């Protein structure tokens, strides 16, 4: 086991609510350790961007330290999310010596608010030189501090942003917070057209997390799983997912024990997990939480992935978060369910009970669609990774073509709205008119799992996000493009009103114009079909199939306008982040090429030679015994076939290494990415085909890598 057992021995007969959030310094804990005015400071900072003064920070730090010590923590860390990997932390002790044999526990407001970790080894995209090591972490009061327990050791974790010495963001959280503020202002301004009581709009997010489990002893025998996160070779098992008997099936006993443990840890950390079930592929599962404010939901998902890994090790498993760990069966995603909530408690993506409320619903509904249409390539780029390239477009995941599914009912509503049709009859669907939208929406159109961006009743579900990704990347893009679209919409409406139009008429006119210009992105058919690829091309929709090409969208003029003009990124930050994404892509494929080459050289070819030698020796023995080999042609053919496969594997492997060196030597990281995509990935496929054929032919005793049938079996 890679870690000591996590304490899950406490029994709570009253249910999850008895221990939910007990390791979080949230409102309940704050009541016991902070004066009310300090609690108010945290609340104002979280909701209004208010800056906490030094005295209040000292009081909060003192109370937080007392709470952490009472919970058994001895160290604290600024917990942040750098631009590669999952999370980062540097632990410092509360203890400070006061003499040779004495000391005290201290924690100041300054230590709470800011630290200076060494930033030299974190991805920076050329923002600073290696010798310019200083970076700053700064406390984010909107995400509560928590205590993380690993190996029986408890540490106080303080969620923070991470910036360079010169102020550029080096993490996921800093720009995410900027986009949340952008959405808040843009959406609130539009809401003022409908309800002056709406003064604030927050973004809600629910993250469905898919993953695979594999037994640790098998994982440790597969270098590709260990270093690349996926199997780079492996012959398909006789039984994969073709029976469709795993989805929602009975959860295996050992997997359920793991789930119970990591859910308990998650609940103690305030992560509101609600759902668990078997996914489509064997050994694949899913968990999903209740909706939360977006910033907290992103933090919780990053924390959840960490907790799952630690608990899995205790149960003798490894969690595979790669988007496609096994060829030929479904990969894993991280569906992001996104919605907008007002300070009055209204979900702006839910229809109301009056024509006025429904016009508000249509306003936000159509503007989100318009944002996706206008910036589809940028949205595609936001979920572009080496891992997700294996998943997008396969017959189990949304295609790389960005489209919006809204269902038959809302499609009719929008058609009639655009054509200004009143009281249109649609059989038993009821009367199509703005006042009747709530009634009509009671008809729940079936979900379209082939759509990358689907409306599911009161939210949009961005289904194309990869399972290993940090949700901040796609959410920064979605928030920014929607807020940008809302600003444009409000400006156009105001111009109409100032020209003498009635407010409602101005809103409807601009909405119709917006819908006409963006409806091509709406699609309710089979996103996997060849017909849709042709239809999408006719509609002018992009089909960017790989990361190397997709990432180019970050640096287009349209993208620069969204990010730079709205102060989400500076020019330097945008270019640096794009370079980091390219670099991550290249490094991922470079690692895969090295691991694959090693597997071929040290596992595949030796296995083939051993089996070939056994057959050849058998033929030699038969010949020595005076047996006519002309009747043994199948064995002779097999020896020759294996020899041919060995030659091809050796040739392809040499070609792989040569091409890898050429790709890495490219003058720019973007050219290296394009080279890896065009020359290396086809070689991966060719080598896999040969290796899998050798595995199919070889005797089990000669093949020393765990096979798919073993990897996919969970008791």
Residue 125 has pLDDT above 60, yes or no: no
Q: What is residue 432's predicted lDDT score, i.e. its pLDDT?
A: 36
Cβ neighbours around 650 below 10 Å, total: 15
Separation CA 33–CA 165 (nearest Å): 34
Separation CA 147–CA 566 (nearest Å): 36
Phi, psi values for residue 448, rounded to 5°: -110, 105
Mean pLDDT, residues 138-149: 94
Cβ neighbours around 582 below 10 Å, total: 23
Q: What is residue 52's predicted lDDT score, i.e. its pLDDT?
A: 84
pLDDT tens, position by position, 548-606: 999 999 999 999 999 999 999 999 999 999 999 999 999 999 999 999 999 999 999 99
Q: What is residue 430's predicted lDDT score, i.e. its pLDDT?
A: 36
Looking at residue 228, the DSSP 8-state letter turns out to be H
Q: What is residue 443's predicted lDDT score, i.e. its pLDDT?
A: 43
Phi, psi values for residue 568, rounded to 5°: -80, -45
Contact residues for 391 (Cβ-Cβ < 8 A; gap 6+)? 323, 324, 331, 332, 333, 397, 466
510 versus 715: which is more confidently predicted? 510
| pLDDT band at residue 132 using 50, 70 and 90 as cut-offs | low
Mean pLDDT estimate for the chain: 89
Separation CA 630–CA 105 (nearest Å): 86
Q: Which 3 state secondary structure label does DSSP give 169? A: strand
Q: What is residue 650's predicted lDDT score, i.e. its pLDDT?
A: 97
pLDDT tens, position by position, 228-261: 999 999 999 877 776 666 677 889 999 999 999 9
Handedness of CA 560, 565, 568, 570 (dihedral sign): positive
pLDDT tens, position by position, 469-481: 999 999 999 999 9
Residue 12 has pLDDT above 70, yes or no: no
Q: What is residue 396's predicted lDDT score, i.e. its pLDDT?
A: 58
Phi, psi values for residue 114, rounded to 5°: -155, 145
Separation CA 425–CA 438 (nearest Å): 16
Radius of gyration over every alpha carbon of the chain, rounded to an integer in angstroms: 28
CA 635 to chain centre: 50
Residue 428 has pLDDT above 80, yes or no: no
pTM, two decimal places:
0.92
Phi, psi values for residue 335, rounded to 5°: -65, 125
Four-point Cα dihedral 19, 23, 29, 30, nearest 10: -160
Separation CA 405–CA 459 (nearest Å): 12
Mean pLDDT, residues 188-213: 96
Name the pairing type of β-strands 75-79 and 153-164: parallel
Q: What is residue 397's predicted lDDT score, i.e. its pLDDT?
A: 63
Contact residues for 619 (Cβ-Cβ < 8 A; gap 6+)? 629, 632, 635, 636, 639
Residue 425 has pLDDT above 80, yes or no: no
| Burial degree of 612 (CB within 10 A; 0-12, 13-18, 19+) | buried
Separation CA 651–CA 580 (nearest Å): 33
Name the one residue in this structure whose structure tokens are 């893009």. Answer: 477
**Beta bridge partner(s), residue 169:** 163
Which pair of structure tokens corresponds to residue 51?
Answer: 């800056």
Q: Which 3 state secondary structure label does DSSP give 557? A: helix
Name the one residue in this structure whose structure tokens are 């899995």. Answer: 312
Which pair of structure tokens corresponds to residue 43?
Answer: 């609340």
**How far, CA to CA in Å, does 33 sit from each of 28, 63, 66, 557?**
9, 5, 7, 51
Q: What are the chain's domains?
A: 16-169 (3.10.20.70), 181-567 (3.30.590.10), 584-711 (1.20.120.1560)
List, in sequence order, every beta strand (DSSP E) within 144-200: 146-150, 153-164
Residue 355 has pLDDT above 80, yes or no: no
Q: What is residue 444's predicted lDDT score, i.e. its pLDDT?
A: 47
Q: What is residue 3's predicted lDDT score, i.e. its pLDDT?
A: 44
Instruction: Answer yes or no: are the C-beta atoms of 337 and 353 closer than 8 Å.
Output: no
List, in sequence order, every beta strand (DSSP E) within 587-706: none
Name the one residue in this structure whose structure tokens are 């180019």. Answer: 552
Instruction: Answer yes or no: are the C-beta atoms of 489 and 190 closer than 8 Å.
Output: yes
pLDDT tens, position by position, 271-325: 999 999 998 889 999 999 999 999 999 999 999 999 999 999 999 999 999 999 9
Instruction: Answer yes or no: are the C-beta atoms of 116 and 97 closer than 8 Å.
Output: no
| pLDDT band at residue 13 using 50, 70 and 90 as cut-offs | low
pLDDT tens, position by position, 150-187: 888 999 999 999 988 778 888 999 999 999 999 999 99
Phi, psi values for residue 288, rounded to 5°: -145, 140
Separation CA 312–CA 308 (nearest Å): 6
Looking at the chain, the whole-number percentage of residues with pLDDT higher than 90 is: 69
Looking at residue 330, the DSSP 8-state letter turns out to be -
Looking at residue 51, the DSSP 8-state letter turns out to be P
Contact residues for 533 (Cβ-Cβ < 8 A; gap 6+)? 399, 401, 543
């Amino acid at each position: 086991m890679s870690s000591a057992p996590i304490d899950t021995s406490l029994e709570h007969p009253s249910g999850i609510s008895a221990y939910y959030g007990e390791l979080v310094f949230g409102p309940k804990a704050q009541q016991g350790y902070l004066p009310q005015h300090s609690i108010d400071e945290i609340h104002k900072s979280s909701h209004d961007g208010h800056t906490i003064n030094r005295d209040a920070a000292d009081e909060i730090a003192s109370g937080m330290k007392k709470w952490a010590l009472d919970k058994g923590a001895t160290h604290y860390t600024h917990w942040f999310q750098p631009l590669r990997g999952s999370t980062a932390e540097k632990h410092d002790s509360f203890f400070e010596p006061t003499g040779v044999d004495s000391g005290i526990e201290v924690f100041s407001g300054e230590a709470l608010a800011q630290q200076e970790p060494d930033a030299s080894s974190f991805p920076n995209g050329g923002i600073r030189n290696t010798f310019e090591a200083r970076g700053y972490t700064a406390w984010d009061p909107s995400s509560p501090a928590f205590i993380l327990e690993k190996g029986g050791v408890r540490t106080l974790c303080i969620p923070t942003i991470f910036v360079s010495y010169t102020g550029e963001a080096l993490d996921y959280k800093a720009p995410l917070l900027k986009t949340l503020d952008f959405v808040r202002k843009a959406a609130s301004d539009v809401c003022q057209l409908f309800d002056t009581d709406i003064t604030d709009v927050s973004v809600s997010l629910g993250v469905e997390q898919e993953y695979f489990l594999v037994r640790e002893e098998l994982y440790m025998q597969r270098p590709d799983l260990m270093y690349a996160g996926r199997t780079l070779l492996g012959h398909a098992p006789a039984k994969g997912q073709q029976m469709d008997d795993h989805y929602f099936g009975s959860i295996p006993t050992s997997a359920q024990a793991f789930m119970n443990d990591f859910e308990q840890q998650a609940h103690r950390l305030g992560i509101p997990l609600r759902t668990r079930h078997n996914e489509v592929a064997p050994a694949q599962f899913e968990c999903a939480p209740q909706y939360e404010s977006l910033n907290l939901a992103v933090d919780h998902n990053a924390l959840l992935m960490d907790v799952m890994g630690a608990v899995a090790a205790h149960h003798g498993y490894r969690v595979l978060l790669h988007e496609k760990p096994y060829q030929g069966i479904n990969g894993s995603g991280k569906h992001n369910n996104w919605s907008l909530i007002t300070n009055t408690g209204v979900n702006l993506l839910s229809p109301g009970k009056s024509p006025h409320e429904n016009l508000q619903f249509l306003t936000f509904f159509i503007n989100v669609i318009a944002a996706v249409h206008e910036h589809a390539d940028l949205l595609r780029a936001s979920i572009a990774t080496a891992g997700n390239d294996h998943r997008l477009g396969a017959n189990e995941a949304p295609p790389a073509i960005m489209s919006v599914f809204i269902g038959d009912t809302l499609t009719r509503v929008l058609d009639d709205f655009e054509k200004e049709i009143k009281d249109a009859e649609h059989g038993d669907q009821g009367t199509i008119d703005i006042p009747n939208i709530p009634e009509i929406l009671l008809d729940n159109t079936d979900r379209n799992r082939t759509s990358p961006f689907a409306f599911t009743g009161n939210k949009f579900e961005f289904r194309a996000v990869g399972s290993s990704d940090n949700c901040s990347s796609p959410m920064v893009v979605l928030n920014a493009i929607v807020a940008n679209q809302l600003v444009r919409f409000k400006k156009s409406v105001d111009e109409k009103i100032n020209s003498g139009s009635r407010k409602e008429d101005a809103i409807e006119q601009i909405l119709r114009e917006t819908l006409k210009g963006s409806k091509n992105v709406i699609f309710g058919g089979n996103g996997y079909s060849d017909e849709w690829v042709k239809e999408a091309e006719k509609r002018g929709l992009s089909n960017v199939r790989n990361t190397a090409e997709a990432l180019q969208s970050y640096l287009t003029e349209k993208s620069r306008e969204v990010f730079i003009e709205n102060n989400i990124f500076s020019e330097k930050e945008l270019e640096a982040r794009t370079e980091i994404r390219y670099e991550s892509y290249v490094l991922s494929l470079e690692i895969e090429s090295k691991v694959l080459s090693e597997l071929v050289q040290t596992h595949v070819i030796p296995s083939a030679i051993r089996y070939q030698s056994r057959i050849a020796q058998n033929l030699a023995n038969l010949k020595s015994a005076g047996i006519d080999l002309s009747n043994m042609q199948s064995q002779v053919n097999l020896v020759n076939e294996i020899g041919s496969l060995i030659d091809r594997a050796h040739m392809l492997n040499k070609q792989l290494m040569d091409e890898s060196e050429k790709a890495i030597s490219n003058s720019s990281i973007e050219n290296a990415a394009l080279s890896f995509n065009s020359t290396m990935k086809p070689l991966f496929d060719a080598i896999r085909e040969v290796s899998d054929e050798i595995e199919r032919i070889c005797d089990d005793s000669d093949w020393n890598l765990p096979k798919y049938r073993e990897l996919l079996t969970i008791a």
